[in-house]
Structure 1
Amino acid sequence: MRIPVKHPWTLPKRLLGTFVILASIGRIQSEQKSSKQPNIVVIVADDLGWNDVSFHGADQIPTPNIDALAYNGVILNRHYVLPTCTPSRTAFFTGRYPIRTGMQGKPLSVGEPRGIPLNVRLLPEHLRNLGYRTRLVGKWHVGYYTNEHTPTRRGFESFYGHYSGYISYFNYTISKNNHTGFDLHQDTASTLEMRRNSNYATDVFTEEAVKVIENHDATEPLYLHLAHPAPHSSEAKEVVEVRNMSEVNSRFGYIENINRRKFAGMMMALDQSVGRIVKALGDANMLDNSIIVFMADNGAQTEGFLENYGSNYPLRGLKFTHYDGGVRGVACIYSPLIKNNSRVSEQLLHVTDWLPTFYSLAGGDVNDLGDIDGLDQWSAISLAENSARESLLINIDDAVNLRGVVSGKFKLIEGAADLYGNYYGDTGNNNSYPEYNITEILESDAGLAITSIGNSLLTETKILNLRSASIVRCNNFTDFANCSDTCLFNLQNDPCETTDVSADYPEIFISLSKMIEIFESELVPQTNTDVDPASYPEKFNGFWMPWVASDSSTIIATSSLIGLINILLHIFSLIFFS
């Protein structure tokens, strides 16, 4: 983590003078370079299922704005994430597998004293050092127990959102151990006025993100991270909260299952949010130099703990599992900078890849990022070249003895639990559902914004072909292996993980088992711990807030020294290598 040096005058005057001169030169060169740096916007959906976006082939829940983004960009059909929220977000922000930081286990609880270690630099900090304005709206969920663990101390210039894993959509609360508190914050402050707002959370965060875009100085590059709570369930009486039930019944009355119908209402608000963000970028004349990624943090939880009635069909398993229903995440990327767009990518990508990909696009040298697991995938995305990645670690959850890797077309799971491992979720197709509406896609906010900059060549035939290519088709769908312990799957022939082929490919089975052993030898034990009663919200005016005093002498000295060294190295590289 980078914390500014609070007392630079304590440095030797000669070094301080040199630093000021170099900083001025570096700032000038950074300003000259910034106009060419793309704006980067990442929109993260929470517990979104494979079958909950209509570009994957289901007619049940139309997502015209998300579909417009996908069809005009690249549909990432083999984008892997982690089984749950905190590990996925840790991987995204660090570019490293969560086993490197002890963050690989269960999602972080509100009031739990842990987080991504402060000596690990995060994506927004890397981009900020390259001249980006960095903004976070929505969910954080990677630690907040000290002030130093909060977003504005970890690279984001501003933060409007919640620290915890989920909140109620109208009163922004979360409960733990019979203690209920508000979890809505602006930067590091929380005021009583914030809890008087009772608007729907998806709309609240969308409004804030639109304001960020509208107020942004377009001469500077922007990194906007919009992490929606939707469509995660809440702990309210209605665990699937919608903006307006009458609107939902009118729009989705054809969905007989009332909980699935409510889920469709959550998705409608999320899709509209995507449209508003793309439109705002267009209105601000920023869209033609922007990269927009839409992604899920993990699969849907159709039933069980924190159920939201989403659907991963036809992929096997739910959130929490290492089956593809839990870890093969919905994802697409749009940008006018993509050379080979409007296609479906079957290239292997991992959530850790975004940090080096963005850093490289921002003008940074990926070698400066040190020992990370992510790979720069821009050539694969933009030019349809081979993926830089041949394999990936799904995760090693040492607390529940669950491990998994993917290598090429094969996937090995060890210690697979039966819990949530069966097929779940709605097929999304029924003769009573409305026909797929292509006009709605083309005339959506996102579709019109993209067309307005002359970057859309979509036709009805093109859309239908892309949609067909993105559908996962499975044979022997109902004949799946129990896989209560260890299974090898051929994902190319069997994307729904129905058949254990370990006996047919013994050499591959052994090779992937050894790969897991190597990762296990590098694992940092989980940092999960109990909730700290000192965190309870009644101690902080009814809000969940940081509650542990920082060891400032250690944090500031170490972080400042690391930060200063990195700043100097970056300035020297700007001067001598630009």
Structure 2
Amino acid sequence: MKAALLVATFTLIFVYLNGGQAAKPHIVFIVADDLGWNDVGFRNPQVLTPHLDKLAKTGVILNSSYVQPVCSPSRNCFMSGYFPYHTGLQDGVIRPTSPGFVPIKFTFLPQKLKELGYSTHVVGKWHLGFCNLKYTPTYRGFDTFVGYYTGAEEYYKHTREYDKFSGYDLRFNTSVYSEAKGKYSTRVFAERAVDIIKSHDKDTPLYLYLPFQAVHAPLEVPPEYENLYKHIQDLPRRTYCGMISALDEAVANITDALEETGLIDNLLLVFTTDNGGPFHGAANNLPLRGCKATLWEGGTKGAGFIYSKTLLKKTGYLNTGMMHAVDWYPTFVELAGGENTDPNMDGISQYDMLINGGPSKRKEFVYNIYDKSNSSAIRYGDLKLTRGSPGSHSDWYPLPHYGEGSDDPPQENVYQFRPYMLFNISSDPTEHFDLSAKYPELVAMMKQRLENWEKTRVPAYQPPDDPKSNPDLYGGNWSPGWC
């Protein structure tokens, strides 16, 4: 009786000290770049990710969490809660020399979380526009930024070559961060994240967005990680797997810091990829079809999980509820005690599904509706409809050879696609069986749904390359100031 009274008294004091409500949870949102479906240890034991595996298995593995086929569009979803065909980013990534961006009229997630009292930080890859300072992280809701603006670069030199230009791309807030030259980016970003965590006031809710460079090309890793995979004869795959293990260690260092500071006691950690893995870049998506830059499941079904010591009502299971990248925005806002007041947002809060283990609130979503081509794909319930070609890589790609010698790259089969294809993803997640000829009435129904989605499409915004982006004009650095 005395123990129960003590607990009740402590709870009342805790609530009183936190303004009449329980403390808002901290959020750590980790994004791996170009990580394949089959490139995590909890699916493929040949990949050594013991720390990610432990978090995933003691948390909730997400089995139907969808992303975009490539980088910028997915990050657009995370930050805006809108499908890319509603923001103009549906046709691809923002090139270093193109003045592309997500329009300012879209309130980014960190801006919303700051309104709810959060301290907001981003460490890693931005890739959402930088031609003007107003499109960069510290002008779109983040208190601090350590990372790079463009889509890819050298892991040690932090330089990016594009077309005929070359420049350094690493920032601390808006200043060039030259101190990190020669340091491996996965370690640079992990160390910065640990610094943020250790210096953070635990009474203030933290939103830490960690879009790592790993494991995007170019394939580079310190030897000690590559040496973990000496049995892999295929050199690109060996290096790629080493990069995954380096990322795994980085996540371990971050979670150790969260433990040490006590932040982990009231925290939701999310881990996801931004798109499927590029098979031609040593990634693997088995048993899914296709890869990065395609509308197949291998390009759009993202490897991921959530973890929390205290927030999740149900753990240690595989969640098959439908979710899309746009859903993270309203989910985090609800978790933070806020409300989504934007009636047009594509994202749906999946708080109940993720935190309570309830059903998904999503019944359908748009994989993408391209502007410059006729290709698109949508999902409704179990059904997936594709129009036009889903992409130029449409096979089921095997793992690179592990024995003596190395296999040649798989030969690409030539497919003649029907104008519309229909798949039942629940019974055929690997997309082997096109049902369009067998069920024309279902195709007609799905076509109507696609046409309804298309009515709100905005034109793709992919402005031409601008020579004013030349890093030579900015001391050899990729810099804002040219649009």
Q: By the TM > 0.5 criterion, same fold?
A: yes
Q: Does 1:221 align with 2:199?
A: no
Distance 1:176 1:110 in 2: 7
- Displacement of 1:177 in angstroms is 1.9
Distance 2:232 2:312 in 1: 37
Secondary structure of residue in 1 paired with 2:19: helix
Distance 1:425 1:168 in 2: 28
Q: Does 1:49 align with 2:36?
A: yes
1:363-442 pair list within 5 angstroms: 363-366=337-340, 368-417=341-390, 419-426=392-399
Distance 2:94 2:344 in 1: 25
- Displacement of 1:380 in angstroms is 1.0
CA separation of 1:418 and 1:220: change in aligned 2, threshold 3 A? closer
CA separation of 1:146 and 1:249: change in aligned 2, threshold 3 A? closer
- Displacement of 1:516 in angstroms is 1.2
Aligned to 1:547: 481
CA separation of 1:541 and 1:481: change in aligned 2, threshold 3 A? closer
**Residue identity matched to 2:66:** Y
Aligned to 2:325: 351
Distance 1:250 1:429 in 2: 14
- Displacement of 1:34 in angstroms is 8.0
Secondary structure of residue in 2 paired with 1:299: coil
2:271 to 294, 308, 315: 294
1:39-78 pair list within 5 angstroms: 39-56=26-43, 58-78=44-64
Q: TM-score, normalised by structure 2?
A: 0.91
Aligned to 1:261: 238
Unaligned runs of 5+ in 2: 1-15, 404-411
1:389-419: per-residue Cα shift (whole Å, max 9, x none)? 0011000111122100111111111112451
Q: Is the 8 A contact 1:60 1:255 kept in 2?
A: no
- Displacement of 1:69 in angstroms is 1.1
Distance 1:142 1:160 in 2: 15
Distance 1:284 1:109 in 2: 39
Secondary structure of residue in 1 paired with 2:141: coil
CA separation of 1:525 and 1:323: change in aligned 2, threshold 3 A? same
Q: Does 1:532 align with 2:460?
A: no
Distance 2:413 2:167 in 1: 46
- Displacement of 1:426 in angstroms is 0.9
Aligned to 2:300: 327
Aligned to 2:174: 188
Distance 1:136 1:64 in 2: 25
**Residue identity matched to 1:212:** I
CA separation of 1:194 and 1:92: change in aligned 2, threshold 3 A? same
- Displacement of 1:293 in angstroms is 0.3
Q: Is the 8 A contact 2:68 2:367 kept in 1?
A: yes
CA separation of 1:69 and 1:540: change in aligned 2, threshold 3 A? same
Q: Is the 8 A contact 1:480 1:498 kept in 2?
A: no
- Displacement of 1:256 in angstroms is 1.8
- Displacement of 1:480 in angstroms is 11
Stretch of structure 1 that moved more, 337-346 or 499-508? 499-508
1:147-296 pair list within 5 angstroms: 147-190=133-176, 193-194=178-179, 197-234=181-218, 240-244=219-223, 247-296=224-273
**Residue identity matched to 1:64:** P
Distance 2:257 2:80 in 1: 28
1:215-238: per-residue Cα shift (whole Å, max 9, x none)? 10001000000010110002xxxx
Q: Is the 8 A contact 2:395 2:413 kept in 1?
A: no
1:497-512 pair list within 5 angstroms: 497-512=431-446
Q: How many aligned positions are there?
A: 460
Q: Does 1:342 align with 2:345?
A: no
2:95 to 109, 126, 131: 109
- Displacement of 1:30 in angstroms is 11
- Displacement of 1:382 in angstroms is 2.2
Distance 2:390 2:60 in 1: 34
Distance 2:197 2:249 in 1: 16
Q: Is the 8 A contact 1:404 1:412 kept in 2?
A: yes
- Displacement of 1:486 in angstroms is 2.2
Distance 1:342 1:55 in 2: 12
Distance 1:227 1:141 in 2: 10
1:483-504: per-residue Cα shift (whole Å, max 9, x none)? 3642101111211101100123
CA separation of 1:391 and 1:210: change in aligned 2, threshold 3 A? same
Secondary structure of residue in 2 paired with 1:242: coil
CA separation of 1:479 and 1:34: change in aligned 2, threshold 3 A? farther
Q: Is the 8 A contact 1:209 1:277 kept in 2?
A: yes
- Displacement of 1:509 in angstroms is 1.3
**Residue identity matched to 1:242:** V
Q: Is the 8 A contact 1:488 1:502 kept in 2?
A: yes
Q: Is the 8 A contact 2:276 2:298 kept in 1?
A: yes
Aligned to 2:449: 515
CA separation of 1:352 and 1:168: change in aligned 2, threshold 3 A? same
Q: Does 1:85 align with 2:71?
A: yes
Q: TM-score, normalised by structure 1?
A: 0.77
Secondary structure of residue in 2 paired with 1:212: helix
CA separation of 1:479 and 1:495: change in aligned 2, threshold 3 A? farther
Secondary structure of residue in 2 paired with 1:52: coil
1:118 to 104, 120, 133: 104
Distance 2:179 2:226 in 1: 30
Secondary structure of residue in 1 paired with 2:42: helix
| More helix by percentage | 1
- Displacement of 1:429 in angstroms is 8.9
**Residue identity matched to 1:352:** V
Secondary structure of residue in 2 paired with 1:326: helix
Q: Is the 8 A contact 2:422 2:436 kept in 1?
A: yes
Aligned to 2:25: 38
Secondary structure of residue in 1 paired with 2:175: coil
CA separation of 1:396 and 1:424: change in aligned 2, threshold 3 A? same
**Residue identity matched to 2:441:** E
1:6-21 pair list within 5 angstroms: none
1:193-240: per-residue Cα shift (whole Å, max 9, x none)? 336x21111111110011110110001000000010110002xxxxx1
Q: Is the 8 A contact 2:69 2:295 kept in 1?
A: yes
CA separation of 1:164 and 1:34: change in aligned 2, threshold 3 A? farther
CA separation of 1:84 and 1:321: change in aligned 2, threshold 3 A? same
CA separation of 1:250 and 1:190: change in aligned 2, threshold 3 A? closer
Distance 2:227 2:431 in 1: 37
Secondary structure of residue in 1 paired with 2:270: strand
